[in-house]
Amino acid sequence: MLDHTQRGQVEVVLVRPRNPLNIGAAARAMANFGFTRLTVVAPYAPHWREARSAVGAPDLLRNAPEAATLAEAVSGCSFVAGTATLARRQPDQAAVQIQQLAPLLAGKLGNGARAALVFGSEKHGLTRDDLSYCHVLVEIPTQPSQPSMNLGQAVAVCLYELSRGSGALNRQAAPQEPSTGSAGSNAPPAPSGSLDLLARVIEETMGASGHSPEAMRAANQLDLRLLLRRLAFTETDARRALRLFRRILWRLRGSQSRRGP
């Protein structure tokens, strides 16, 4: 299970929630299991902080930051797990069972690193674009005839799994993790915001080289986000790659300027 310190490093992120009562129920579940960091992304209802369902957690709800985008909400997190059902989707990233989540997260929270557990809206869940910011997809086993769960209940189930005794969790091994970009390095993993900055510079470089036409821009952005998370860059890797692509971009733009229109 996650200890008290590790729980303080996990951000619970609700993306485009529609019902304030579900936001309040999520906050209550967080208080039940000792989690303190909540971020709400683009909520549908403007008065969500007043949800009466946040029993025992009014301060947590009152102090939760509101983010305009998922990218903003997870920018400081070096590991992001998105929750979704696999009933009607083929994931682009590794999918893990909820029983595997605690040991997986525990291995990601060293050196003060932060992680995020992301939940989608009650109506549509997380979109494919949302999931491109996630390193893994977490599935809660449910009956095939009713694959989706209420938002507040899904949060409670996931946080319970992260909080309960470790004996049951250890019966199922955690998934194999890809090796980091710098073998043997103790550098911390790159936070999501650094990967997004690198993706933007790579995309600009692709555009300057004529490799990324406007019609392919959205697809290339999604593919780059997924690729960079699969590569498991350290913070040092991300800085080096950013310098490399900025240099290439500078050369490309300089060459185009010398050629003229």
The rounded average pLDDT for each run of 10 residues, N- to C-terminus, in the chain (261 residues) is 90 96 95 95 91 90 95 96 81 88 90 94 90 93 83 94 60 44 66 95 88 78 92 93 93 72 56
Q: Where are the domains of the chain?
A: 4-169, 192-259
> Judging by beta carbons within 10 Å of its beta carbon (0-12, 13-18, 19+), is residue 53 exposed, middle or buried?
middle
**Residue 65 pLDDT:** 95
CA angle 46, 52, 53 (to 5 degrees): 105
Closest CA to 158 of 92, 52, 87, 84: 84
Tokens describing residue 191? 């936070």
- Nearest-angstrom CA–CA distance, 255 and 96: 47
- Nearest-angstrom CA–CA distance, 230 and 43: 29
**Residue 165 pLDDT:** 56
Question: What is the edge-to-edge ordering of all strands in the sheet holding 115-119?
Answer: 66-67, 37-41, 10-15, 115-119, 79-83, 136-139, 94-97
* CATH label, 4-169, candidates 3.40.190.10, 3.20.20.80, 3.40.1280.10, 3.40.470.10: 3.40.1280.10
Task: Please tell me the total number of residues recorded for the chain in this structure.
Answer: 261
- Nearest-angstrom CA–CA distance, 153 and 52: 16
Bridge partners (DSSP) listed for residue 83: 138
Q: What's the mean per-residue pLDDT of the chain?
A: 86
The neighbour count for residue 93, using CB atoms within 10 Å, is 17
Contacts of 190 (CB under 8 A, 6+ apart): 78, 198, 233, 234, 235, 237, 238
Rounded to the nearest 10°, the torsion over CA 88, 89, 95, 99 is -20
**Residue 84 pLDDT:** 85
**Residue 168 pLDDT:** 39
Helix or strand (DSSP H, E) at 96: strand 94-97
Bridge partners (DSSP) listed for residue 14: 40, 119
Pairing of strands 94-97, 79-83: unpaired
Pairing of strands 94-97, 66-67: unpaired
The neighbour count for residue 207, using CB atoms within 10 Å, is 17
For 160-178, what is each residue's pLDDT tens digit? 999 885 433 343 444 444 4
